Structure 1
Amino acid sequence: MPPEPSAPLATIATALRRERERVGISLTELARRAGVAKSTLSHLESGTGNPSVETLWALGVALGVPFGRLVEPADDAIRVIRAGEGPRIRSEQADFTGTLLSAGAAHLRRDVYLIELEPGAVREADGHTPRSVEHVVVAAGRLRVGPEANPVDLDPGDYATFPGDLPHRYEALLPGTFAVLVMEHP
Structure 2
Amino acid sequence: MENIDIGKKVEKYRKMKDLTNRELAALAGITPSMLSQIERGLANPSIQTLKVLAKTLDVPTFSFFMEETNTEALIVRSNKRKKMIVDNLSYELLSPDFTGNLASAILTVPPYTSSSEKLLDHRGEEIAVIIEGSIKIYLGEEEYLLEVGDSVKIPANLKHKWENNSNTVAVVLFSVTPPIF
Is the partner of 1:156 in helix, strand or coil?
coil
Matches of 2:156 and 2:75 in 1, distance apart? Answer: 27
Contact 1:115 1:179 in 2 (8 A): yes
Matches of 1:97 and 1:105 in 2, distance apart? Answer: 21
Contact 1:145 1:168 in 2 (8 A): yes
Normalising by the residue count of structure 2, what TM-score does the alignment of the two structures yield?
A: 0.50
Corresponding residue for residue 89 of structure 2 = 96
Aligned-residue offset at 1:116: 0.5
Aligned-residue offset at 1:184: 1.9
Aligned-residue offset at 1:173: 3.1
Matches of 1:142 and 1:133 in 2, distance apart? Answer: 22
Normalising by the residue count of structure 1, what TM-score does the alignment of the two structures yield?
A: 0.49
Matches of 1:158 and 1:114 in 2, distance apart? Answer: 15
Aligned amino acid, residue 79 of structure 1: I
1:185 aligns with 2:174: no
Matches of 1:135 and 1:82 in 2, distance apart? Answer: 21
Matches of 2:111 and 2:177 in 1, distance apart? Answer: 27
Structure 2 CA distance for partners of 1:76 and 1:104, relative to 1, 3 Å: farther
Aligned equivalent of 1:151, options 133, 143, 154: 143
Structure 2 CA distance for partners of 1:177 and 1:121, relative to 1, 3 Å: closer
Matches of 2:138 and 2:93 in 1, distance apart? Answer: 20
Is the partner of 1:151 in helix, strand or coil?
strand
Matches of 2:113 and 2:165 in 1, distance apart? Answer: 10
Aligned amino acid, residue 78 of structure 2: R
1:127 aligns with 2:121: yes
Number of corresponding residues: 105
CA RMSD in angstroms comes to 2.4
Structure 2 CA distance for partners of 1:86 and 1:126, relative to 1, 3 Å: same
1:113 aligns with 2:105: yes
Is the partner of 1:157 in helix, strand or coil?
coil
Contact 1:88 1:98 in 2 (8 A): yes
Matches of 1:80 and 1:162 in 2, distance apart? Answer: 25
1:142 aligns with 2:134: yes
Matches of 2:151 and 2:129 in 1, distance apart? Answer: 4
The percentage of counterpart residues that share the same residue type is 16
1:81 aligns with 2:77: yes
Deviations 1:65-97 (A, max 9, x none): xxxxxxxxxx752413316x52111123xx311
Aligned-residue offset at 1:172: 1.6
Long gaps (5+) in structure 2: 1-69
* Regions of 4+ moved over 4 Å: none
Structure 2 CA distance for partners of 1:167 and 1:178, relative to 1, 3 Å: same
Which is higher, the Rg of structure 1 or of structure 2?
2
Matches of 1:97 and 1:146 in 2, distance apart? Answer: 19
Corresponding residue for residue 5 of structure 2 = none
Deviations 1:49-69 (A, max 9, x none): xxxxxxxxxxxxxxxxxxxxx
Structure 2 CA distance for partners of 1:171 and 1:81, relative to 1, 3 Å: farther
Is the partner of 2:77 in helix, strand or coil?
coil
